[in-house]
Amino acid sequence: MTGKVETHYGGSSNLAEQIANDLRAKGLEPAELTPADFEALDEFHFRGRAATLELAAQMRLTAQSKVLDIGSGLGGVSRTLAETAGCHVTGLDLTPELCAAAAEISAWLGLAGKTDFQQGDATELPYADNSFDAAITVHVAMNIPAKHRMYAEARRVLQPGGVFAVYDILQGEGGEMIFPAPWAAEPSISHLATPQEMETLLRGAGFKLLDSIESTAESLRWLEERTASTGPPPPVPITTRLLFGDGFREMVQNQLRALRERRMLTWSFLCEA
């Protein structure tokens, strides 16, 4: 299963170099940009940076916080937390190519000292007990069948009282998901939980559930606005299409339909260890 997921997200051994070359071809120097400029590329979750900032505002972060970003991808969430809270963020992701690119982008943006990225499995975290003050996971568990292990591991590595923020795509009541989707070209690597299952899983892992917020309607509006291209172009004219290639348009259309028909939902959970 992990091999299939790595293959889905991987495929480019020089992803950072490709991004840098694309930027320079458009007259942009990577080191002259800001973390916010990269949002369309490195925060590839519904509602982008705004959703990350909403979660961050509830995580009680300080400059002394040690934070774990589970499923960090290209590092957008990690950099947003590090930049806005001044904390140190460790990002862990299954795909080596994404970890390498995330580290390079952080170096461009002057955040190498505030972020680090490591390849690893969310269900077997390579960290000691009580290693982190807070943790976050954004649009990751859709690929993980053993969610109970993922959340138990998150609880294990958190200090007592630490905050765990979860923002994910869930299974809705409108029917099965339509594929391909950005997290799965076909159903075998897609494992969506329902909101009720998520609450049971999080409590079962030892978390106290502080808040549970659905954002499906907001996600649909956000995606409709992005696909309509009525707003100003993003500062960095490179988007997640770079990761998914020609099939990205079909993925987006499938997500639009799934949100409208409530086949998929977006939901966040704020928990305390």
pLDDT digits (tens, 9 = 90+) for 232-266: 666 666 666 667 677 788 999 999 999 999 999 99
- Residue 86 is predicted with a pLDDT of 98
In 3D space, the residue among 8, 41, 3, 2 whose CA is nearest the CA of residue 184 turns out to be 8
- Residue 49, token pair as written in the block: 């940076």
**Which of the listed CATH numbers 3.40.50.2000, 3.40.50.300, 3.40.50.150, 3.90.1150.10 matches domain 2-272?**
3.40.50.150
pLDDT tens by residue, 41-94? 899 899 999 999 999 999 999 999 999 999 999 999 999 999 999 999 999 999
Q: What is the mean pLDDT of residues 10-18?
A: 75
Neighbours of 53 (CB within 10 A): 13
pLDDT tens by residue, 155-197? 999 999 999 999 999 999 999 999 999 999 899 999 999 999 9
- Residue 22 is predicted with a pLDDT of 86
- In whole angstroms, what is the distance from residue 259 CA to residue 273 CA? 31
User: Please, which residues bridge with residue 91 across strands?
Assistant: 69, 117
Answer whether 40's CB lies under 8 Å from 225's CB: no
- Name the residue ranges covered by the structural domains of the chain: 2-272
- In whole angstroms, what is the distance from residue 97 CA to residue 10 CA? 6
Please report which confidence band the pLDDT of residue 40 belongs to, taking 50, 70 and 90 as the band edges.
confident
* Secondary structure of residue 32 in the 3-state scheme: helix
pLDDT tens by residue, 132-146? 999 999 999 999 999
